[in-house]
Structure 1
Amino acid sequence: MAHTPYFLLLFIALCSISECVQRQYHFINEKMEWTEAQRYCREKYTDLATVNNMSDMNQLMKSVNDVRLWIGLQRKWQWSSGDPALFLNWGYNQPDGKNLCAFMRNGEWYDGKCSDSCIFVCYNMSRGLVYVNQMMNWKSAQSYCRQNHIDLVSVRNQNDNQQLEKFINDRNSSGSAVWIGLFRDTWQWSDQSNSSFRNWLTGEPNNNEGNENCTGLKENTQGHWADISCHYQFSFACHEDKLIVIQQNLSWSEALRYCRQHHVDLVSVQSVEMQRRVMNVVKLASTEAVWLGLHNYCSMNMWLWVSGDMVCYQNWAPGNGSTPENCKLENRKGAVQSGGDQTWISLPESHRLNFICTNY
């Protein structure tokens, strides 16, 4: 019993010196438009720079000069229903970046002024497509559909688009513009990661030119952001993620061996920040759970990371995280669920799963 306080103090000390792992940034001193910079970063590194918090922001500022430069935040198109716009059917030279709402004409999509008045199509659960032969601006059309049906119509794929085109043409022979439920408003990171962190300069974003849909760091503002037209040419920052999902089904020991041979190690999750990064990449997995570098040290009745670190930050699912009575027989290891809340679960190491390697 005399050793217990010392052990607890040692545990607290080891946890307190665990550092947050930073994303690696690269400053590219070449001037490109936003989409060109995005393509460059995806070819050479991971993507245009994503910034999840002030720690990332400070790390980025160490890597870049105090000039105007692109980062990976852009206004995204999405459906009024909240669904992501995975299928797009833009007309020639569309969208041109000047407007935030979309209409259909002859089966193709165009961005239009949300304040313009057009006829529109709603979606109803029982009736399907509903043609509304009334002239309204986009926002009023959205409200009408939500009050009387479900929402403005969404288009998921080419088949949906062809059916909608025929539906409209049967009722609208003039070829006039018809509002659909597509609009551009929400800001989204280029790598699709989920982060609500923003570092806007006071008064930004203001969409001053009516087409400021990309984000850059403004010079001489200590790294604050502004919305800017995507067609300007600036230097830019890329980021390089150090987590890799391996889509092979291996036992925990095989996964550990693979990571140490081809990368550095199985991933250790020592902070909320690292858990967030794991959650961003685990969506690429093909198994319901994915191995972490987490193993049960039976003789000490505790979980440890393969890096040798203690488990300070914890994200166990209910009923997991304790040492089972048959620990030595099962050799329990830790995995993260690839769906749901993406919490940790313990499984026998013989299970064959995808896994996450780290290059940190």
Structure 2
Amino acid sequence: VLFIPVLVLLWAFCPLTTAGRLRTLHLEYPSTAMNFTEARNVCQSKYTDLLTDYNEQINKELVEELLEITHWEVHSVKWSDGAAVTVFKLTGNCVSDCCAAMKADKEWESVQCNKTKPFMCFDKGSTEYKLIEESKSWNEAQRFCRQNHTDLVSIRNESDNEEVKKQSSTENFWIGLQHSKINKSFTNFANQSFCIYHEGKWIRSISEVHAVCYKSLIHMSTHEMSWEGAVDYCNASGLLRIESKDDQIETEKELRKKNISEPVWIGLRQSRLFGFWMWVNGLHVGPWTNWKGGRQPEHQISHHCDVMEKVDGTFRWTDKDCRYRFRVVCEIR
């Protein structure tokens, strides 16, 4: 489950265009913060659900859009070796060009990267860490570790944190975490339930944060009908069109979420006279297609209406007799 770190309250919520033709994202930011259960309840009552399938593309587009419509400060957080940030619990008041040091009391402190301190390196494939007593800036320490070991130490979980704590030192020393309010990117916390970063504090998923909701623009009928009945059922909104791989992926997500395994009607039909396939809005199929077996049904030997049917764990397009009765997928406009 994803929560984004946000720093400044601007309005109650913000609709975002990011996410594709069949899905919209909505940033829920009420006057009081929400815990996980409250956030999900809000998302399910107003939209479809809390966003969980966060990825790099959504991350990039969401940040760009937020930066265009707000004056928010955005945190970039990263480990030196590129490992995912799943533990983040800094103290201190550093606001720019900041790096993390472990203090003598074993807490993490955020300080400017140009300060000089001892530092800790690690070697890939080894569970031991090497504390270097020579004081260097964070960037100098990073360079040293990469030249002589693997990198500055990364801490992925509490077990790693405890191992690093065991290294005796009366001085603060650098670890491999770097963060800044200047870099225009969010850390991707998708599928990381251990903890997240919010306003300089390390918090678990029950803590109060704000949420990104999504609204699916796909509707599934509860009963079965013929293809002609499906056209009437979807009326102005129209039977589902799948114009791209993204549309296909989004549709499959909703079908799986609803535990649909049987065929479902979509808005694809064959010309009885000429044999070409077209969507209900008159557009011809392509260039992206998803036919069962990789080929569209042939004229004269095919049925004239189309379903999405589960084949080897994924949904493919295939022809069916238009009189058959299946559930139908509509677009919401």
TM-score calculated relative to the size of structure 2: 0.51
Change in 2 beyond 3 A, CA 1:205/1:59: farther
**Deviation, structure 1 residue 36:** 1.8
Change in 2 beyond 3 A, CA 1:354/1:231: same
Counting only pairs closer than 5 Å after superposition, residues 49-64 of structure 1 correspond to structure 2 as: 49-51=51-53, 53-61=55-63, 62=65
Counting only pairs closer than 5 Å after superposition, residues 1-360 of structure 1 correspond to structure 2 as: 21=21, 23-30=23-30, 31-51=33-53, 53-61=55-63, 62=65, 66=72, 206-207=156-157, 221-226=184-189, 227-228=195-196, 229-261=204-236, 264-283=237-256, 284=258, 288-312=262-286, 313-318=288-293, 321-325=296-300, 330=303, 332-338=304-310, 340-360=313-333
Change in 2 beyond 3 A, CA 1:337/1:311: same
| Unaligned stretches of 5+ residues in structure 1 | 1-18, 70-202, 211-217
Q: Structure 2 CA distance, aligned partners of 1:236 and 1:52?
A: 12
**Deviation, structure 1 residue 269:** 0.9
Change in 2 beyond 3 A, CA 1:324/1:274: same
- Could you say what secondary structure the match of 2:305 adopts? strand
| Unaligned stretches of 5+ residues in structure 2 | 1-18, 76-152, 161-179, 190-194, 197-203
How many positions carry a matched residue from both structures? 198
- Could you say what secondary structure the match of 1:225 adopts? coil
Q: Report if aligned partners of 1:297, 1:303 keep a CA contact under 8 Å in 2.
A: yes
**Deviation, structure 1 residue 59:** 4.4
Q: Deviations over 1:102-156 (max 9, x none)?
A: xxxxxxxxxxxxxxxxxxxxxxxxxxxxxxxxxxxxxxxxxxxxxxxxxxxxxxx
Q: Structure 2 CA distance, aligned partners of 1:256 and 1:314?
A: 21
Which residue type is aligned with residue 233 of structure 1?
E
Q: Structure 2 CA distance, aligned partners of 1:209 and 1:350?
A: 60
Q: Report if aligned partners of 2:54, 2:188 keep a CA contact under 8 Å in 1.
A: no
Which residue type is aligned with residue 250 of structure 2?
R
- Could you say what secondary structure the match of 1:234 adopts? coil
Change in 2 beyond 3 A, CA 1:225/1:289: same
Change in 2 beyond 3 A, CA 1:253/1:242: same
Which residue type is aligned with residue 42 of structure 2?
Y
Q: Structure 2 CA distance, aligned partners of 1:302 and 1:55?
A: 34
Cα RMSD, aligned residues only: 3.4
**Deviation, structure 1 residue 322:** 2.5
Which residue type is aligned with residue 305 of structure 1?
W
Q: Report if aligned partners of 2:290, 2:317 keep a CA contact under 8 Å in 1.
A: yes
**2:165 alignment partner in structure 1:** none
Which residue type is aligned with residue 25 of structure 2?
Y
**Deviation, structure 1 residue 296:** 0.6
**Deviation, structure 1 residue 353:** 0.2
TM-score calculated relative to the size of structure 1: 0.48
Q: Structure 1 CA distance, aligned partners of 2:267 and 2:248?
A: 13
Q: Structure 2 CA distance, aligned partners of 1:306 and 1:205?
A: 54
Change in 2 beyond 3 A, CA 1:319/1:47: closer
Q: Structure 2 CA distance, aligned partners of 1:33 and 1:346?
A: 47
Change in 2 beyond 3 A, CA 1:308/1:53: farther
**Deviation, structure 1 residue 233:** 1.4
Q: Structure 2 CA distance, aligned partners of 1:307 and 1:208?
A: 55
Q: Report if aligned partners of 2:277, 2:285 keep a CA contact under 8 Å in 1.
A: yes
Which residue type is aligned with residue 335 of structure 1?
V
Q: Percent identity?
A: 22
- Could you say what secondary structure the match of 2:221 adopts? strand
Q: Report if aligned partners of 2:49, 2:214 keep a CA contact under 8 Å in 1.
A: yes
Q: Structure 2 CA distance, aligned partners of 1:348 and 1:223?
A: 49
Q: Report if aligned partners of 1:247, 1:286 keep a CA contact under 8 Å in 2.
A: no
